Amino acid sequence: MSRGRTIVSCFLLCLLAFWAALHWQRNRQVRFQGKTAPEWFVEFRKARPLCRRSLVNPLLVPLLRTRGATNLMSQVTYYEDLNLLFFHPAADGLRNLGSNAVPFLEAEVKRRDGPFAKGYTALFQRLPVGVRRHVPEPPQPRDPVQRDAALALSLLGKNADSAIPALLEAYERAPAYSKSDYIKSLDRLHVPSAAFDAMLLRYRQTNVAAGVVTIKALRIRSLMSAQLLTNAVLQGSIPLEALNELMYHRSYVNMTLPALAASLKSSDQQVQESAVRVLRSFGSESVGALPELTETLKSKNDELRYQCVLTFEAMGAAALPAVPVLRQATNDSSTLVRSAAHRVLKLLSPGGSE
């Protein structure tokens, strides 16, 4: 009997200690206007749906009415007014808590669904309605909470720097439809390009195409992103997308030139035109691709030849070795090519184009 009482007493003492620890933990949390970070986050999550706005194209309304349309719902576009959300009192509460809110929000970003959550949810949905009433409901999915926590972290500016690795990890594992909130958060936090290197290295080794998409979405401009884009161009996985992003990597022109020069020899005309445009954006630093550009000027495609001449123009004095082919281009079948060639020759030889 005494042993049973001892067990019960120990259990009650443990329960009391647990309650006291929770009470102490809650009371020691920093507050703003009487509310802790978890409490402000709940308010923040409630506010987000209220910031959804509808937009109807006013030019379509009269046209639809004249055609007898009574339901305009299909013409309504919905968007989220983040400015309204970020100036909501709940956002101000988190912002004023500053670094004190970071540990909680970072934990919310990291906390994922339990190992059996998806399986139980799928099972629950297959159960008859009568059975569902007598079993626990599945837990709410973590994805919306994680995305809201990511946006909340973006309110904290430099205070949230320590949470950037958690945001990057969450972005990397998130499905495509969930990535936008992490992109918005990382963009507002002004993450230095070097912070993305570890993630880009994984993409370079496993999924170059996803890496190109990430570079575009997060506007990454680093040595690692230049390497990944160069690989994407040379491998031919998604060369057009990679070439478009290389335009923003002029700082790494020496690394990217071989891939750009190779693209000029592609059998895909769109790839060739994209490569020429990137080289034009690099100006005189494209001189390393001059032999390939000179050869490209012999293309049968009018637009490609025209873009090539414009690239010589952007190169300025660095394009002097191309004068012979430019002189030939003054007799081109395309009026645009002829006109551009005369202009570039005049630029390179102030005395005239002849």
Domain boundaries, the chain: 34-68+75-189, 192-252, 264-354
Q: How far is CA 315 from CA 116, 276, 280, 348, in A?
A: 60, 12, 7, 10
**Class in CATH terms, 264-354:** mainly alpha
Query: pTM to 2 decimals?
Result: 0.79
The HSE-up count of residue 70 (CA atoms within 13 Å, CB side) is: 0
Instruction: Spell out a b/e string for 59-80, using b for 16 or more CB atoms within 10 Å of the CB, else e.
Output: eeeeebeeeeeeeeeeeeeeeb
* 354 residues of the chain, pLDDT tens digit each: 466 666 656 666 666 655 544 444 454 578 999 999 999 999 999 999 998 887 766 655 565 556 555 555 555 677 888 899 999 999 999 999 999 999 999 999 999 888 877 887 787 788 888 778 878 888 888 999 999 999 999 999 999 999 999 999 999 999 998 999 999 999 999 899 889 999 999 999 999 999 999 999 999 999 999 999 999 999 987 899 999 999 999 999 999 999 999 999 998 999 999 999 999 999 999 999 999 999 999 899 999 999 999 999 999 999 999 999 999 999 999 999 999 999 999 998 865 444
